[in-house]
Structure 1
Amino acid sequence: MNTRSKRIVNLAIISMLIMLVLSACSGNSGGSNGGTNKENGQSNEGNSNQAVNTDQNFDDISADIRGNKGPTQEQIDLVNATLNDTYLGDVFEEVIPSDYSAYPFKEEVVLDVWMPANSDIPDMNAHAVQKQIEKLTGIKVNFITPPIGQEADSFTLMISSGDLPDIIIDPGRYPGGFEAGVNDGAYLDLTDLMEQYAPNYTAWRNSNEMRRKTTVTDDGRLLGFYGIAPYSEWMWFGMLIKQEALDKTGMDVPNTIEEWHAFLTKAKEVGYSEPLNYGSNYGQIFTGILNGAFGVWDWTFLDENGKVGWGPAQPQAKDYLATMQQWNKEGLLNRDWATADFNQRMSTAISDKTAAMMDSPDTMWSFWKQQNNIDFVGALNPVLNEGDKSATTYRNFMRTGVSAAITTQSEHVEAAMAWLDFNYTKKGWEMINYGEYGTVHLVDENGMPYYHPESYIYNDPDGQPVAVTLHKYRMHNWPNIRDEHHSNPLIVSEGSYSGDIRKYWTENMDASVAMPPISFTKEEASREAELGNQLSTLRNEYFAKIIKGELPVDAYDKFLSEAQKMGLDEFLSIHQAALDRYNNR
């Protein structure tokens, strides 16, 4: 039997099993609150903002836990070893659900979960948060993680073999994307199962229209579990300047491209030999930070009419390329910008070569301030003319973290959904974002978790920095309710101003050009991926060579001609059709 035939047979078997489960359990909804009926747009009125505490009668322990800075071991065990969440406050606009009726799970199962590796987590199966969740849910999990750097090959081999685990974290790796995986029979369509077996996820995604809209397909299907936040997260990437560089040059934070050129030139004169850490082989030169000033966005964007445009094809592209070619020739950029990896960039960044760089203020809080006592400030994306509004193609649509799919080969669909659904409970929100109570976090007077001064986040017994402990003692990137603004220790640690920078960027830049999270049909996905790969390769080659001076700026005309021959108009029409469907969800 070939792989595709095997998938079809497995899908048929799993479908029959699901129908049997639905028939047997049709009278037990699991206490879903605020769901929709197969995405027909008819909400269960009055429930979307109500927390559910089905079949659980917890004693209110808020007086013992809230504001307690020295909990006893008994209190620590009560928080960590039970589902009691009465000490947690309702701290967001919408109330986080608390339906624990599925736990402990009714039968003993072990779920296989494939996920990309994280160098800061040596053994995911030993992760403290996941071991705690296993105890509370009664669902055991075996994490399968490939070696660092082999994720793509591991995923491809797994999919091609047809031998799939119960759950896949980051299922968008599938050729053509998440939806293609469902259409091809690798992942389950969970539309008819969500309301019954994932009541917390259902309630949370339906409690806000943006969360609902960004977690459903154009045709109303629910493919899996998405990371979805209580708010739209602040933008996380932009232009950062060492404070000492501003002091040495005697200049203010630059705003226009002309002012940036003057600042970088002066920085070079006062000793910064490669003043702007411009990019690396993982794509910093295509961030929209500098090219956006010219309207030459790195990829797709919304034009002034709300239609899809392609940044590299915009009218002022040659002006942008001429500018960057000049800056490169003048030695204003790091010499290895076309090839440097992350470690090389950080090594240069902390040296006296760099005055400014494009990166995350969270990352640079760790590398610059915490590890090397280098203060820095954030600058808005440059503009071309004084008075122009700084803009960005980044906008968080409450979709964050990663997603998860349940495969068609899972023999434990209900358990897999229950395990994932726990992440969208109030208890799951606390544990995944803030880690273990006592050693990692405490709870303030309002019922909000926080990292105390002795927290393992800041005082790791193994001596690891916060950039590592944020993964070691909590889950930073997960299919859950991610509370980035309050639980990211690089933002909330004492003295940190990275969150202030991110908030400043978000509140002072125009994000109307940002594309929402659209999705493609099976036919579109295949063609879009083919055209996208070709256009990306073409752009990377021409733009890099022109900036390095290996091609003249006029070579852009040939680039644009080749892009049009490749099918640029078709590429844009595919994205426009997807955008139109998204707007009609």
Structure 2
Amino acid sequence: MHSVHKNMKRRRIMRKRALALILASALAAGMLAACGKSPQSEASSAASAPQAPEAGEEVTVTYPLENPDDVTLSWWIPMAPPAAKHITNYSEAEAYAEFSNCTNVNVEFIHPVSGQEKEQLGVLLAGGDLPDLIMIRNWYNGGSSAGVDDGVFMDLTDLVPIYAPDYYKAITSSELAYRLATNSEGRITEFNLIKSSAPAFNRIVWNKSVLEKYGYTDGAAPETVDEYTELFKKMAADGLPGFSPTSNGQVVQFMYPFGITSGFFLGEDGSIRYGQATEEYRDYLTLMNQWYEAGYLYKDFMTNMTQTELQALFNNQQVGMMIGSADQARAQAATVGVDVVKANYPRIKKGDPMHFETTSWEQLPILGGQTTVISADCENPELALEYMNYYYTQEGCDLQSFGIEGKSYVVAEDGTKQYTDYMLNNPDIPIGDVGNILKANACPGLREADINCFPDYLTDPDILAFRMQYSDDPTVDDSQVLPAFQMSMEASTERSKIMRDITTYIDEMTLKFITGAEPLENFDAYLEQLDKMGMQDAIDITASEYEVFLTKPVPEWITE
């Protein structure tokens, strides 16, 4: 994403896991109270508590762990849909079972009902007696920091360097990684997935036969908005819509050409802007309205279709193109004999820059998707930290990314990892599902980039080339992408309160403008209404929090 920072060279030392009977003095008193510790026990623990490592030291944890009491940790974690087709609990998945074998820690997985995760998390938190680990994703209002302030989650700041040193190493590998992994006060309150997310996978995918019918041969595709309009016109004359937009009508692939994206982003001058509250959004809506009235858009796009339904439209040639995971679209289309062509980001003029690339070649914390916390009810936080730390070791990374060595993959003489038939041709698990059974793709940890570990990429050069296509475009960068940083509880709560009604209003008005139910002559009134609803306040809150993100202190040894 941003420039890669030089890692600090640190002296490597070995520390044995402290066998203190109670938490270290580094724990705040409020956290101790949440775990049921008395003031007297706090004082007695202080004398024997392990000391945090000095700046520059690197600590290691030895696996398997000492677990003389055979403690079992509990983990509330949603189950990935592909896994649910084969198992009822992650304890039945061999990758997660191997994590227990390698750490000497058994885990009781608790899975919410699919589709009801956020609601069931609320019920869980309200009921008390929380499991040790909870995957909150982005479902806790104000994030994990707010949960710490609420006394629900543990503050991990002083514990991570001692009991999760590999995670600490990962989040202090660069200044940017540290800023992303810590809250506005520089506190560590959660575990996140850390990986390189590039190259981008959400792209425009065309039916190759449609393109060839209208003159685009040899893998060519439209490049400019005008070329899309001209092609859609030819298709509409034959009764074929161009594509089905997202149900709210906000298609970022066609917002980019106008210099905006959906939601908060960085203006060219570095200021905070909101895509749907800009003059440029008028231009986007004008384009979409023209396409809608001309019949270039699928008429029922507002029916909130699933990605599976959108894929079916594409596969059945009811539309000429679709937007989504290009790899998945290609694979699904191939099952019905449809060849595809991937298109680059559309522009107004060929060669225009595009500053909204959301993926990164750097290994960085990815917030929200698999965010996991340690609850304040956890009675063995050191063990929980050491267990989670394994996910960030090289061995844990390999297990998540490739599966079990000698079973799912072997290491060749040149050091490369090669999948076995057990992974590639498993008679019981389709290739599309192995990542959630034979590997561990649905949990936080340090993970290889997709292009380095997905079976399809390692076994089929054509699939890898398809994913890599356009990844070297020099006109594309991320200079206007606002990082997904952690905000303070007060700011997050206040902004959420403002944006709740604003988001609903934007969704309603966007569809009205596109369909012509609301004339675009009323766009100024729309902007005025957004301002009355507090849009500028939300922008100001975001700008203030972003300034904190950019200026919060970073340990000097990270930047050396």
* TM-score range relative to shorter protein: 0.7 to 0.9
Q: CA-to-partner distance for each residue in 1:408-438, whole Å, 9 max, x for gaps?
A: 0111111111110000111101111111223
How far the C-alpha of 1:293 sits from its partner, in A, is 1.2
Residue 332 in 1 paired to residue 300 in 2?
no
Change in CA separation of 1:486 and 1:542 when aligned onto 2, cut-off 3 Å: same
For 2:273, what is the secondary structure of its paired residue?
A: strand
C-alpha distance 103-24 of structure 1, shift in aligned 2 (>3 A)? same
Taking the TM superposition and a 5 Å limit, the aligned residue runs for 1:511-530 are: 511-530=478-497
Using the alignment, how far apart are the partners of 1:234 and 1:440 within structure 2? Answer: 25
Alpha-carbon contact 2:203-2:325 (below 8 Å) kept? yes
Q: Does 1:276 align with 2:243?
A: yes
Tell me whether 1:156 sits opposite 2:180 in the alignment.
no
Change (3 A) 1:353 1:309: same
> Residue 289 of structure 1: SS of its match in structure 2?
helix
Deviation at 1:124, TM superposition (A): 1.6
Who is 1:441 aligned against? Answer: 409
Q: How many corresponding residue pairs?
A: 508
Distance 1:172 1:20 in 2: 38
Between the aligned partners of 2:90 and 2:182, the Cα distance in structure 1 is 29
Whether contact under 8 Å (2:31, 2:154) holds in the other structure is: no
Distance 1:350 1:18 in 2: 64
2:197 equivalent to 1:197: no
Superposed CA offset, 1:158-197 (max 9, x none): 1222231110113431112222112211110000111111
Deviations 1:529-560 (A, max 9, x none): 11122221111111022212222222322321
Displacement after TM superposition at 1:109 (Å)? 0.9
TM-score of the superposed pair, with normalisation by structure 2 = 0.84
Taking a change above 3 Å as real, the CA distance of residues 501 and 20 of structure 1, as seen in their structure-2 partners, is farther
Displacement of 1:200 in angstroms is: 1.4
Determine helix, strand or coil for the equivalent of 1:416. Answer: helix
Separation in structure 1 between the aligned mates of residue 426 and residue 495 of structure 2, nearest angstrom: 46
> Residues of 2 paired with 1:15 and 1:446: CA distance?
56
Instruction: Spell out, residue by residue over 1:102-138, the C-alpha distance to the aligned partner (whole angstroms, 9 max, x if none).
Output: 6253431111111123221232221110111111111
1:482 corresponding residue in structure 2:
447
Task: Check if 1:583 corresponds to 2:550.
Answer: yes
* 1:303 maps to 2:267: yes
| Structure 2: segments with no counterpart, 5+ residues | 1-29, 553-560
Structure 1 pair 320–14 and aligned structure 2 pair: CA distance change class (3 A): farther
Conservation of the 8 A alpha-carbon contact between 2:250 and 2:510: no
Contact 1:218–1:519 (CA under 8 A) maintained in structure 2: yes
Q: 1-side partners of 2:245 and 2:427: how far apart?
A: 36
Q: 1:450 to 1:555 in 2, by over 3 A?
A: farther
Shift of 1:506: 6.5
Return the offset for 1:440: 2.0
Structure 1 residues 506 and 166 mapped into 2: Cα distance closer, same or farther (>3 Å)?
A: farther
Report the alpha carbon displacement of residue 232 of structure 1 after superposing the two structures with TM: 5.1
Match of 2:36 among 13, 21, 36: 13
SS where residue 182 of structure 1 aligns?
A: helix
- 1: distance between equivalents of 2:63 and 2:461? 42
Q: Which amino acid aligns with 1:261?
A: T
Q: Quick one: which of 537, 551, 559 aligns to 2:504?
A: 537
- Go from structure 1 to structure 2 and tell me whether the alpha carbon gap of 1:574 and 1:469 turns closer, same or farther (over 3 Å shift): same
Of 22, 47, 50, the match for 1:26? 50
- 2: distance between equivalents of 1:507 and 1:310? 26
For residues 277 and 492 of structure 1, the distance between their equivalents in structure 2, rounded to whole angstroms, comes to: 32
Going from structure 1 to structure 2, the CA distance change for 1:232 and 1:350 (only over 3 Å counts) comes to closer
* CA distance in structure 2 between the partners assigned to 1:124 and 1:573 by the alignment: 43
Contact 1:114 1:168 in 2 (8 A): yes
SS in 2 for 1:558: helix
Question: Which structure 2 residues correspond to residues 32-431 of structure 1 after superposition, within 5 A?
Answer: 42-44=55-57, 99-101=61-63, 103-122=65-84, 123-229=89-195, 231=196, 233-251=198-216, 252-269=220-237, 273-280=240-247, 285-338=249-302, 339-369=304-334, 371-392=335-356, 394-396=358-360, 398-400=364-366, 402-431=370-399
C-alpha displacement of 1:23: 4.8
Deviation at 1:498, TM superposition (A): 5.5
Cα distance in 2 for residues equivalent to 1:408 and 1:234:
38
- Shift of the alpha carbon at 1:444? 2.5
Structure 1 residue 385: deviation in Å?
2.7
RCO higher in 1 or 2 (8 Å CA, sep ≥ 6)? 2
Per-residue deviation, residues 204-258 of structure 1 (Å, max 9, x unmatched): 22233332221112211111211112x4532221212222222121124111111
Q: 1-side partners of 2:300 and 2:348: how far apart?
A: 26
| Counterpart in the other structure of 1:553 | 520
Change in 2 beyond 3 A, CA 1:159/1:243: same
Q: Is the 8 A contact 2:193 2:370 kept in 1?
A: yes
- What residue identity is the alignment partner of 1:100? T
The residue matched to 2:427 in structure 1 has which SS?
Answer: coil
1:43-92: CA deviation from partner (whole Å, max 9, x where unpaired) = 44xx6xxxx8x6xxxxxxxxxxxxxxxxxxxxxxxxxxxxxxxxxxxxxx
Gap change, CA 1:148 and 1:178, over 3 Å in 2: same
SS at 1:442 equivalent: strand
Rounded Cα–Cα distance in structure 1 between residues aligned with 2:529 and 2:468:
38
| Counterpart secondary structure, 2:193 | coil
Correspondent of 1:510 among 477, 499, 508:
477
Other structure's SS at 1:121 match:
helix
Question: In the alignment, residue 460 of structure 1 is paired with which amino acid?
Answer: N
Distance 2:422 2:43 in 1: 47
Partner of 2:460: 494
Asked if the contact 2:452/2:458 (under 8 Å) is kept, the reply is yes
Residue in 1 that maps onto 2:400: 432
Q: Give the SS at the match of 1:297.
A: coil
Q: CA shift at 1:490, angstroms?
A: 4.4
Cα deviation for residue 287 of structure 1 reads 4.5
Q: Deviations over 1:293-345 (max 9, x none)?
A: 11232111101111111111221222211211121222222222222122211
CA distance in 1: counterparts of 2:43 and 2:486, whole angstroms: 28
Report the equivalent of 1:82.
Answer: none
Question: For the Cα contact (< 8 Å) 1:362–1:491, is it kept in 2?
Answer: no
Pair 1:465-2:425 in alignment = no
Higher mean C-alpha deviation, range 297-306 or range 156-165? 156-165
Separation in 1, partners of 2:43, 2:441: 36
| Secondary structure class of the residue paired with 2:253 | coil
Aligned letter for 2:388? Answer: L
- C-alpha deviation, 1:455, in angstroms: 3.6
Distance 1:119 1:386, change over 3 A: closer
Tell me the CA shift for residue 14 of structure 1: 5.3
CA distance in 1, matches of 2:414, 2:356: 35
Question: Secondary structure, in 3 states, of the residue corresponding to 2:185?
Answer: coil
